Amino acid sequence: MNIQNQLQATVEALVQQGKGILAMDESSPTIAKRFKPIGVESTEENRRSYRSMLLATPGLGEFVSGVILFEETLGQKADDGTPLPALAAQQGIVPGIKVDKGKLALANAPGDEITEGLDGLALRLESYKQQGARFAKWRDVYHISATTPSRLAIEANAEVLARYASICQTLGIVPIVEPEVLIDGDHSIDRCAEVTEAVLHEVFHALHCYHVILEHMLLKPNMVIPGKTHAQKASPEEVAEQTIRVLRRTVPAAVPSINFLSGGLTPEEATANLNAMNCLAPQPWDLSFSYGRALQQPALQAWKGNAGNAASTQAALYLRAKLNGAARHGSYSVTMEPAQE
Ligand code: 13P
Domain boundaries, the chain: 3-336
* List of residues 6+ apart from 67 with CB closer than 8 A: 21, 22, 23, 24, 55, 88, 93, 94, 95, 96
Which residue is catalytic, options 178, 202, 269, 322?
A: 178
- Strands (E) across 242-316 are located at 257-260, 286-291
**Ligand 1, pocket residues at CB < 6 Å:** 23, 139, 178, 261-263, 291-294
Residue of minimum CA distance from atom 4 in ligand 1: 263
**Taking every pair of C-alpha atoms in the chain, what is the biggest distance, in angstroms?**
53
Burial 128-142 (b: 16+ CB within 10 A, else e): bbebbbbbbbbbbbb
Cα 303 to ligand 1 centre (Å): 20
By CB neighbour count within 10 A (0-12 exposed, 13-18 middle, 19+ buried), where does 72 fall? middle
CATH number of 3-336: 3.20.20.70
Strands 64-69 and 20-24, by their bridges, are: parallel
Number of C-alpha atoms within 13 angstroms, CB side, residue 340?
2
Ligand 1 atom with the shortest distance to the CA of 260: 2
User: What pTM did the predictor assign?
Assistant: 0.98
Annotated catalytic residue 178 = yes
> What is the C-alpha separation between 73 and 201, in angstroms, rounded?
34
| Closest residue by Cα to residue 296 from 45, 106, 31 | 31
Per-position pLDDT tens, the chain of length 341: 999 999 999 999 999 999 999 999 999 999 999 999 999 999 999 999 999 999 999 999 999 999 999 999 999 999 999 999 999 999 999 999 999 999 999 999 999 999 999 999 999 999 999 999 999 999 999 999 999 999 999 999 999 999 999 999 999 999 999 999 999 999 999 999 999 999 999 999 999 999 999 999 999 999 999 999 999 999 999 999 999 999 999 999 999 999 999 999 999 999 999 999 999 999 999 999 999 999 999 999 999 999 999 999 999 999 999 999 999 999 999 999 998 76
With the most atoms of ligand 1 within 8 angstroms of its CB, the residue from 157, 259, 260, 262 to mutate is 262
